[in-house]
Amino acid sequence: MYICIMTLKGTKMILLMLGVACVAVLILSYKYISTEDLQGNSLSVQTKNLPQLMMDRQGSLEKFKERQTHLLENCHPSTNLEKNPKFEYVKKRFLLYDSKSNFVFCMVQKIGCTFWRRLFHSLKYKAISDVYTINPKKVHTENLPTLGHLNITEASRVLRSANTAMFVRDPYERIFSAYLDKLYVINLYYMEHLGRHIVKSRKKPTAVSLRCGHDVSFSELIRYLVEQKRKRQYVDEHFSPIHTHCLPCQIKYNFTGKMESFDEDVSEIMTKTGIFQNVSGLMSRKSSIAKEINSSIYTNILDAFNNRNNMLPCMTMNEMYGRVWTTLQLRGFLNPDLPMPDSPHLTVDMVYREAIKNSDPSRVSEYKHRGLVKMYKTVDRQLLLQFREYVLLDCQLFGYNDRPPYVFSDD
């Protein structure tokens, strides 16, 4: 008798639980019913989306877990984070921190760095209507909140409790991008501080090259990086390996996004963490590409013009415009087969109008890849094999091919 009563109670409990579950499913399903559904037009189609949405969300989380697992499997035994002498610099320089949402982001130059700095900037200035209107130079010079104000023990504690994220990128593409922005386009600071240093390694550098540092080839940069690694000497953070910025074998990142799936990964991180949900004017990189092209074209051309007095001992004005034009082609903003306007008296307005007229946002990836392949073909085979060692650990940790076909095409 006792057993029968218990069984009856158990059965009622199970039925009650099933009833609650059914109600929950109906409520959740209702969230995905459109106005048309209420009119009886497409209810069956819409309710089918619920399990698919749940599967998509689960799949996105699995993607981050798989990346974390892959990373840990390729990490070498390392010292405790708090005993790592690099941690003090890393937490101050690269680990952006929003205390209100308890979110830490590891910033790596040439991997969406400007985008993330704009987002952290927007947390300070709520009135911003569009994050893409924020001057990139401004966000790169202002002091954004990092873990630098905390001592090592406190910073370690935050990292254990916070949501943490970093982004990675194909190391070969990242170095190519850094070369264009720092040594190929007109960039006085890097030409003076890095370009002049690199050209000293030439057998017979010209006086102009030694004075200006304006004509460093991509192959020369690759050789310089290989030599710096061999001698264990400092490398500027735009060219230094990704893992040296974020210490991923010692800091556990909840989210490791990839540049190749930037929009998707950013969206999923924001949804999961709840950070930046109230930032207005936030759009995908794809939808903002026209703005980025317009801004880059204008900024690069204007920078060349504004630096004309400093650069004229090194290059003519038309040569500077030509360098800008080629940079825009290599970045994928312009057709690589399109010649620059032919005039002995080019102006900022003339170059800008021609560049805007001939830009094609739909072909940026295609044109950029052509430029990438073309640039790596200028590097001899032996040097490429040495450079592979320079990027090898990043490739292993983050799941990239250390011998990509577009670089090692003869393999």
For the stretch 131-168, pLDDT in tens is: 777 878 888 888 899 999 999 999 999 999 999 999 99
Query: What pLDDT, on the 0 to 100 scale, is given for residue 8?
Result: 40
Closest by alpha carbon to 380, among 229, 228, 226?
A: 226
Give me the percent of the chain exceeding a pLDDT of 70.
81
Residue 47 has pLDDT above 70, yes or no: no
User: Residue 68's pLDDT band (boundaries 50, 70, 90)?
Assistant: very high
- What is the per-residue burial (b if ≥16 Cβ within 10 Å, else e) of 300-326? bbebbbebeeebeebbebbebbbbbbb
Residue type at position 80: N
Query: What pLDDT, on the 0 to 100 scale, is given for residue 89?
Result: 96
User: Where does residue 40 fall: left (phi above 0), alpha (psi -120 to 50 degrees), or beta otherwise?
Assistant: left
Residue 14 has pLDDT above 80, yes or no: no
Is 79 or 304 the better-scoring residue by pLDDT? Answer: 304
User: Residue 6's pLDDT band (boundaries 50, 70, 90)?
Assistant: very low
**Residue range 208-216: mean pLDDT, rounded:** 97
Query: What pLDDT, on the 0 to 100 scale, is given for residue 125?
Result: 78
Residue 54 has pLDDT above 80, yes or no: no
Residue 16 has pLDDT above 90, yes or no: no
- H or E element, residue 255: strand 255-258
Query: What pLDDT, on the 0 to 100 scale, is given for residue 5?
Result: 40
Is 172 or 36 the better-scoring residue by pLDDT? Answer: 172
Residue 198 has pLDDT above 90, yes or no: yes
Model pTM?
0.82
Q: What share of the chain is helix, strand, coil (3-state, %, to 5)?
A: 65, 5, 30
User: Residue 192's pLDDT band (boundaries 50, 70, 90)?
Assistant: very high
**Residue range 289-312: mean pLDDT, rounded:** 88
Query: What pLDDT, on the 0 to 100 scale, is given for residue 276?
Result: 78
- H or E element, residue 164: strand 163-168
User: pLDDT tens digit string along 215-255?
Assistant: 999 999 999 999 999 999 999 999 999 999 999 999 999 99
Please state which of the ranges 102-111, 121-130, 188-197, 262-271 shows the lowest mean pLDDT: 121-130
What is the pLDDT of the chain when averaged over all its residues? Answer: 84
Query: What pLDDT, on the 0 to 100 scale, is given for residue 129?
Result: 66
Q: CA-CA distance, 243 to 409, in Å (whole number)? A: 27
Sign of the torsion angle spanned by Cα atoms 202, 208, 210, 213 = negative
Q: Which two tokens stand for residue 150?
A: 């905390």
Please state which of the ranges 42-46, 119-123, 366-370 shows the lowest mean pLDDT: 42-46
Residue 203 has pLDDT above 90, yes or no: yes
- Contact by Cβ (8 Å): 160, 210: no
Residue 299 has pLDDT above 60, yes or no: yes
